[in-house]
Amino acid sequence: MNTEARRRWLNPMRARAADEPHRVATPLELLFDLCFVVAVAQAALPLHHAISEDHVRDGVTHYLMVFFAIWWAWMNFTWFASAYDTDDNLYRITTLVQIAGALVLAAGVKPAFEDSDYAAITLGYVVMRLALVAQWLRAARNDPPRRVVALRYAAGITIVQVLWLAHLALPASWSTPVFVVLVVCELLVPAIAERAPGGPTTYHPHHIAERYGLFTIIVLGESVAAATVAVRAGLDEGEHRAELISVAVAGVIIVFALWWLYFDRSAHDLLTSLRASLVWGYGHYVIFAATAAIGAGLGVVVDHETHHSHVSRTVAGYAVAVPVALFLVAVWFLHVRPMQTGPHVVACPIVAALVLLAPLVPAPVPVIAGLVVVLVALTTVNAHGRQSFVNVD
């Protein structure tokens, strides 16, 4: 192997600067997101069917568990890449292994929902996580100032993966409580590792905000796809065409409004400390899971309108209302509350509460769409007021 080839294979993994100019998502990161959205879609589809068949509790439980595996693996790679993306051959190969793990996880979603069989999901998850361990060990070797941080990550992740594999041998009745314990263990790893001598890692606030924003857009696309299905069903179903097209239009409006609310302000200014970054990063579990669930909820409403579901109109309405309300509360808590003051700050939680009342009236999805449009209007007026105040100063 010549010197150039050796350099490409063994390029040291240096920490990237937290204030590096013009830092943007790479093509590899975009591929990573795209493949993970396949897993998100696989999780949302059985949630839709479970609610339509009136297996709400089991469907929601499985969905939240599966979505945690998807989100946590995506999040850990995203923050690691923000600090250590060298884009050399070893880095690319290790990242592609993580993507392969995500595809294995996606293939295991159906058995998890139908038979509570988490073997394939756990295998795919462990593959993703152990590939990241290899990345952290490489970072430990090449970044001496943060060696302890990297080794803590590698050790913590490895220990928890062993526990995940052991979890498969436990009785089914232990599955949920042990899952909760292991989730807590996963969440503690970054909190402990980043506080090691030399920490925290040099994540890039603008890059992180962009990565989260891109994933939010992609997951919102899943809900747009659900609205498209409603349009197609409306065109095919002469008897229920008006109702289905109304649901489709309202669904698209909801998605557009949620996009507007999420991107009303840049979030990078919020990532000012380790604590703030952890709260912001962890809180996005609610945003991502709720966003994907909105698409599933629209599917449930379509099933109800075409008499293909076993749930009432109210339950079908709540399949959309609950994730929309959770999205609004999460965006308020993570984006609005830390950056704004004044009476208008309570608009988001108030609208979220009204959204939860919408399923009690006829045509709940159009009502929800109207409520979020009003919230967007209030947000826009407030933003104009802030801008005018700045210009006067």
Is residue 18 situated within a structural domain? no
Is residue 9 situated within a structural domain? no
pLDDT band at 385 (very low <50, low <70, confident <90, very high): low
Domain that holds residue 281: 205-392
pLDDT band at 344 (very low <50, low <70, confident <90, very high): low
Judgement on whether residues 32 and 100 belong to the same structural domain of the protein = yes
Judgement on whether residues 71 and 158 belong to the same structural domain of the protein = yes
Which pLDDT tens digit goes with each residue over 251-299?
A: 999 999 999 999 987 777 788 888 888 999 999 999 999 999 999 999 8
Judgement on whether residues 111 and 222 belong to the same structural domain of the protein = no
Is residue 5 situated within a structural domain? no
Domain boundary pick from 159, 193, 227: 193
Which pLDDT tens digit goes with each residue over 17-40?
A: 888 888 888 999 999 998 888 889
Judgement on whether residues 290 and 142 belong to the same structural domain of the protein = no
Domain boundary pick from 150, 172, 193: 193
Q: What is the model's pTM?
A: 0.90
Judgement on whether residues 49 and 98 belong to the same structural domain of the protein = yes
Judgement on whether residues 279 and 321 belong to the same structural domain of the protein = yes
Judgement on whether residues 223 and 98 belong to the same structural domain of the protein = no
Is residue 303 situated within a structural domain? yes
pLDDT at residue 139, as a whole number: 92
Number of domains in the chain: 2
pLDDT band at 208 (very low <50, low <70, confident <90, very high): very high
Instruction: Check whether 216 has a pLDDT greater than 80.
Output: yes
Instruction: Check whether 11 has a pLDDT greater than 80.
Output: no
Judgement on whether residues 220 and 185 belong to the same structural domain of the protein = no
Judgement on whether residues 151 and 186 belong to the same structural domain of the protein = yes
Judgement on whether residues 178 and 220 belong to the same structural domain of the protein = no
Is residue 198 situated within a structural domain? no
Domain boundary pick from 193, 227, 260: 193
Percent of the chain whose predicted confidence (pLDDT) is above 90: 56
Is residue 200 situated within a structural domain? no
Which pLDDT tens digit goes with each residue over 123-181?
A: 999 999 999 999 999 999 998 999 999 999 999 999 999 999 999 888 878 888 999 99
Is residue 2 situated within a structural domain? no
Instruction: Check whether 238 has a pLDDT greater than 80.
Output: no
pLDDT at residue 389, as a whole number: 39
Is residue 335 situated within a structural domain? yes
pLDDT at residue 92, as a whole number: 93
Judgement on whether residues 179 and 320 belong to the same structural domain of the protein = no
Judgement on whether residues 228 and 283 belong to the same structural domain of the protein = yes
**Any idea what the CATH number is for the domain that residue 339 is in?**
1.20.1410
For CA atoms 192, 197, 203, 204, give the dihedral sign.
Answer: positive
Q: How far apart are alpha carbons 376 and 18 in whole angstroms?
A: 33
